[in-house]
C-alpha cells in the first residue's frame, strides 16, 4: 500500500487529492500549517522528521510557490517522488505579484528532480473560486457578467487533476525527473461559450452583462475594477489554454468531457 505525504493538505487542491487517494486505498499523511492536520509543519526540522519517519512513496507540494517561505520546503526535494503544483498563470505575458519568486521556486524544484505540474483553471467539489463561484453568482443574480468573450479557457476539474496526480504516484519514473508539464481540461472554448453552458445549468433568465475586451484594456491601464488589480484585469482577456498532449501520452491520462464535469460542478455547488 503506497503512502502519500500531502504538504498543503489544508487547501483546496491538497485536501481534495488527499481524499481522492485515500478513497482509492492508499495511506495519506496530511501536512501543512493549519491546525487539525495529521502534521503541523512549523519548521524545516519537523518536515525532516516526518520524511524520515514515514518514508513516503509520493510527496505532493501544493504550497504557493510565490511565497518566499516555500523555499526551505523545496530544498528537501530528493527526486521524482516529489510532485510540485505550480500554475499555468506563470506563462502569462502579464506577470502578477510573486511571479519572479514562483519561477525561481519552479526552477529549484526541477533542479532537485521533482515533477512540476502547471494546471489551468481548477474547479469542482463546490470549493473553487472559478466555475463554482460563477455558477453561484449566476444563480443568485439571474444573469452572467462576461469580460471579453472570445478569449479561450480550458477548465480542469479537480477530479481529473487528482487522477493525474495518482498516476504519478503509480509511476514516479526517473525519465520525468525535473520535468514540467502543462495540464488542462479536455476542451478549450471561448469564455462566451463557457458562460452559455453555465447559464443553462444555473437557469439564468436575464440578459448577459458584457464588458468588451477593448473596455477592459482601458480599465486595466487606468484603475482597478471591483477591487481587482490592473494586472488581474489585463489577464482576464488573455487566452488561458495549454497543450496537454505530452502529459496525456506519458502518464496515460485523459480528462473527462467538459459538459459532464460542468454538470458535476453544478451538483457539487449545491445551488438551491
| pLDDT per residue as tens digits for the range 197-215 | 999 999 998 899 998 877 7
Q: Has residue 104 been placed in a domain?
A: yes
Give domain status of residue 82, yes or no.
yes
**Residue span of the structural domain in which 173 resides:** 63-269
* pLDDT value, residue 224: 56
pLDDT digits (tens, 9 = 90+) for 15-34: 999 999 999 999 999 999 88
In the chain, the number of structural domains is 1
Gap between the Cα atoms of 124 and 118, Å rounded: 17
**pLDDT at residue number 265:** 98
Say if 22 falls within a structural domain: no
Contact between residue 13 and residue 158 where contact means Cβ atoms under 8 Å apart: yes
Q: What is the pLDDT averaged over residues 58-75?
A: 92
Whether the full predicted model's pTM is greater than 0.85, yes or no, is: yes
Residue 225 has pLDDT above 70, yes or no: no
CA distance 179 to 114: 7
Residue 221 inside a domain? The answer is yes
DSSP 228: B
Q: Is the model's pLDDT at 174 over the cut of 70?
A: no
**Domain assignment of residue 8, yes or no:** no
**pLDDT score at 228:** 63
Q: Is residue 143 part of a domain?
A: yes
pLDDT at position 6 is 97
Residue 106 lies in a domain: yes
Query: What 3-state class would DSSP assign to 1?
Result: coil
**Average per-residue pLDDT in the chain?**
91
Q: The C-alpha cell of 88 is what?
A: 499555468
Q: Which helix (H) or strand (E) holds 3?
A: strand 3-7
Asked, for residue 43, whether it belongs to a domain, the answer is no
Residue % of the chain over a pLDDT of 90: 72
In this prediction, residues 64-76 reach a mean pLDDT of 91
Q: pLDDT band for 223, please (50, 70, 90 cuts).
A: low
CATH value at residue 75: 3.40.50.720
Amino acid at each position: 500500500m503506497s503512502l502519500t505525504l500531502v504538504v498543503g493538505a489544508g487547501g483546496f487542491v491538497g485536501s481534495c487529492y488527499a481524499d481522492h487517494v485515500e478513497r482509492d486505498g492508499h495511506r495519506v499523511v496530511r501536512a501543512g500549517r493549519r491546525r487539525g492536520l495529521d502534521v503541523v509543519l512549523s519548521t524545516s526540522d519537523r518536515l525532516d522528521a516526518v520524511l524520515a519517519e514515514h518514508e513516503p512513496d509520493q510527496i505532493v507540494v501544493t504550497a504557493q510557490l510565490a511565497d518566499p517561505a516555500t523555499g526551505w520546503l523545496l530544498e528537501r526535494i530528493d527526486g521524482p517522488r516529489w510532485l510540485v503544483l505550480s500554475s499555468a498563470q506563470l506563462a502569462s505575458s502579464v506577470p502578477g505579484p510573486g511571479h519572479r519568486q514562483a519561477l525561481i521556486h519552479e526552477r529549484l524544484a526541477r533542479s532537485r528532480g521533482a515533477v512540476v505540474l502547471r494546471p489551468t483553471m481548477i474547479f469542482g467539489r463546490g470549493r473553487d473560486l472559478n466555475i463554482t463561484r460563477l455558477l453561484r453568482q449566476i444563480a443568485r443574480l439571474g444573469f452572467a457578467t462576461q469580460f471579453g468573450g472570445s478569449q479561450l479557457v480550458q477548465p480542469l476539474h479537480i477530479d481529473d487533476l487528482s487522477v493525474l496526480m495518482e498516476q504519478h504516484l503509480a509511476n514516479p519514473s526517473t525519465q520525468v525527473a525535473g520535468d514540467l508539464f502543462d495540464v488542462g481540461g479536455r476542451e478549450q472554448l471561448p469564455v462566451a461559450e463557457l458562460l452559455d453552458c453555465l447559464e443553462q445549468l444555473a437557469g439564468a433568465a436575464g440578459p448577459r452583462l458584457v464588458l468588451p475586451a477593448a473596455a477592459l484594456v482601458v480599465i486595466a491601464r487606468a484603475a482597478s475594477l471591483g477591487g481587482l488589480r490592473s494586472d488581474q484585469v489585463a489577464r482576464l482577456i488573455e487566452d488561458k489554454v495549454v497543450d496537454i498532449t505530452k502529459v496525456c501520452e506519458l502518464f496515460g491520462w485523459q480528462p473527462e468531457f467538459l459538459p459532464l464535469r460542468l454538470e458535476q460542478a453544478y451538483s457539487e455547488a449545491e445551488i438551491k
